[in-house]
Amino acid sequence: MVKTKQTRRDFLRTGVAGLSAVAVFGSEGYTLPTPVKSDPFPELVEATIEGLQARMKAGEVTARRLVEMYFERINHIDGRLRSVLESNPDARAIATALDEERKKGRTRSMLHGIPILLKDNIDTADRMLTTAGSLALVNAPLPKQDAFVVKKLRDAGAVILGKVNLSEWANFRGNRSISGWSARGGQTNNPYFLDQNPCGSSSGSGVAVSANLGAGAVGTETNGSIICPAVTNGVVGLKPTIGLISRSGIIPIASTQDTAGPMTRTVADAVIMLGAMVGRDRADASTAEAERRGAKDYTKFLDVSGLKGARLGLVMQFTTRPELKEYFEPFIESIRTAGAELVDVNFEPNYQELAADRLNVLLYEFKHDLNKYLAARGGQHKTLADLIRFNEANKELQLPLFGQELFIQAEEKGDLTDREYLESLQKIRRSTREDGIDAVILKNKLDALVAPTSGATWSIAAVAGYPYITVPTGLRENTPSGMAFFGRAFTEPQLIRYGYAFEQKTKGRVVPQFLPTYPKKD
């Protein structure tokens, strides 16, 4: 496992050892190799939060033992995945204290004693680093306090197991980014086929959860950074409404789109985590309505019959390839047989024409929000301009694979009072809200929308700041796939019902086996 203190050269080690060909479910009839090595602690494979909680309650395992077991799995497995940057040196002591609480009759929540991983752009006021994957922040002062969402998780009894890799600066540095790569962590690999894209920017979160290296993980999203690595790594990703979860203490890109969210192997686990993460934070004005419009317990919306009577808009306009349509048809039919009425709908094309405005908003907000974060964090690099100079001075380490064009473009932008910014923000919000998701749902009298998980649909929801959940449907050749449910602001309860009912009916999650590459068809 990666230690807390390393040299820059250590951070760039790229060796992958111990590859073994093992069996995996072939959803299209391919024969794959059989296992050659045993899996440490197989009882953790696909273990759920509820199941782990039941075992602790029964005295079969302690929180401390769970931490040690997950650490051992990371040591045994993660060398080929490179998803976990560092372990929490205090995790065992924290788990022991939580075990003592349990002995005295106190259990804080369903997360009491549950090991959770964090993306490395989320502040922790402990002995772990928070770097966004950049060497520029390796020697920065440790955060003065936990991110609000980390505090919420700790208060709920979760054990922060460690930090996971990400696409550096949450995939917002250069025009030619590489998903899952950071100067600090190197390249994170897809757990199904190690040579495939793990997607970004919450790549480490998706990979680690899929590989059963923690009970769950927290990812962050500005535009697809929870959903893409979730679907690509075969897990559940829940991107909540902007304002449901605080962003304070999270290294930012854009305040109008940034959010944290749970990444887990099941919908139920995502819902348990979501409930613990929701809350009003006075340091983040967007959360003013979180307590009124959110829920303290989202598990009450887990309904196996949740699709019955739902009227859903089916969005297939972005799924154009015939083989993709054929693949998703059985899953679409399963939604119908579960009792939902499906109505074919389309989004107006103007959203696709606003790519320049969408980028413009991110560039303006990135400069403003990152400068604010860096100034509060302290240290040598206090502005985006400082980071640009650092990258250039250390280009052999920071820029060996791609550049920092987005950094430079953002630095050239002005203030958030600029007319250019305000006009772009108004355009993209209207396109995705009033003329987008809201319009489609109201016009067709829908409860929500459903679609094969894709960049176009998750981007519309991300720009709108609306909720989106993806549920695994298994492997289509070498690519994990998913079905998505999304809708208007603060409709998480409905989406949870639909996603959970779909998951229970289809059971599409496939356990990865870390194959070096996708076997050729016989």
Burial of residue 443 (number of CB atoms within 10 Å: 0-12, 13-18, 19+): exposed
The answer to whether 117 and 128 are in contact (CB under 8 A) is: no
Backbone angles phi, psi at 476, to 5 degrees: -110, 100
For 118-153, letters b (16+ CB in 10 Å) and e give bbbbbbbebebbbbbbbbbbbebeebeebbbbbbbb
Residues constituting the chain:
522
Q: Of the listed 167, 203, 205, 225, which one is catalytic?
A: 225
Decide: helix, strand or coil at residue 405: helix
Residue 225 bears catalytic tag: yes
Residue 132 Ramachandran class (φ > 0 left, ψ -120 to 50 alpha, else beta): left
Cβ(428)–Cβ(354) below 8 Å: yes
In angstroms, how far is the first alpha carbon of the chain from the final one?
38
Angstrom distance (rounded) from CA 456 to CA 224 = 9
Q: What residues are paired with 219 via a beta bridge?
A: 261
Q: Which of 83, 119, 205, 481 is catalytic?
A: 119
- Asked whether the beta carbons of 311 and 447 are under 8 A apart, the reply is yes
Q: What is the DSSP letter of 435?
A: I
Q: What is the DSSP letter of 485?
A: E
Task: Give the pairing type, strands 259-264 and 216-221.
Answer: antiparallel
Name residues whose C-beta falls within 8 Å of residue 309's C-beta, 6 or more positions apart in sequence: 339, 340
Contact 246, 151 (CB under 8 A): no
> Which one from 182, 201, 286, 454 is the annotated catalytic residue?
201
Question: Quick check: is 119 catalytic?
Answer: yes
Say whether 58 sits in a helix, a strand or coil.
Answer: coil
Q: Which long-range contacts (CB under 8 A, 24 or more apart) does 145-148 make?
A: 145/249, 146/249, 147/122, 147/123, 147/246, 147/248, 147/249, 147/250, 148/246, 148/247, 148/248, 148/249, 148/279, 148/281, 148/283, 148/284
Sheet with strand 236-239: strands edge to edge: 84-87, 159-164, 115-119, 216-221, 259-264, 236-239, 468-476, 479-486, 448-452, 311-315, 341-345
Output the CA torsion sign for 7, 219, 114, 277: positive
CA distance 442 to 32: 47
Q: Just list the catalytic residues.
A: 119, 201, 225
